[in-house]
């Protein structure tokens, strides 16, 4: 199954005036049924609990539960790309990757896997 790395702010939630993104419940239904999902956000570094507590303030309880069951934690120190399995088929959804992260994807020929 294709891996999907998910950011929270600017993807599941709006980037400004934080609230649930339009269509987020249907989006979560789709991605959790079609992809092997992983958190790739500053809200999760090794443990999903912090990410889930954060999104629970804004998302429907049923959506949070789907995320709890389906999205696995990642761990990284400086760059989010440290957590991506570059050898696998993947997509990364993020609203503001760092230029150095984009450069790493480009160097490996997988920059098309980043969806802004």
Q: Which domains does the chain have, with CATH numbers?
A: 3-115 (3.40.50)
pTM of the entire predicted model: 0.96
Residue 98: pLDDT band by 50, 70, 90 thresholds?
very high
Neighbouring CB atoms inside 10 A of 90's CB total 19
CA 72 → CA 44, 45, 87, 111, distances in Å? 10, 11, 18, 23
- The average confidence (pLDDT) of the chain is 97
Question: What does the pLDDT look like over 14-36, one tens digit per residue?
Answer: 988 999 999 999 999 999 999 99
């Amino acid at each position: 199954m294709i891996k999907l790395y998910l950011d929270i702010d600017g993807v599941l939630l709006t980037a400004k005036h934080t609230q649930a993104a339009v269509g987020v419940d249907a989006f979560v239904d789709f991605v959790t049924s079609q992809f092997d999902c992983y958190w790739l956000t500053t809200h999760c570094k090794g443990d999903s609990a912090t990410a889930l507590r954060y999104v629970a303030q804004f998302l429907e309880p049923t959506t949070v539960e789907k995320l709890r069951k389906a999205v696995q934690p990642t761990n990284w120190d400086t760059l989010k790309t440290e957590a991506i399995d570059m050898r696998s088929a993947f997509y990364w959804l993020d609203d503001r990757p760092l230029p150095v992260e984009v450069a790493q994807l480009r160097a490996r020929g997988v920059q098309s896997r980043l969806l802004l």
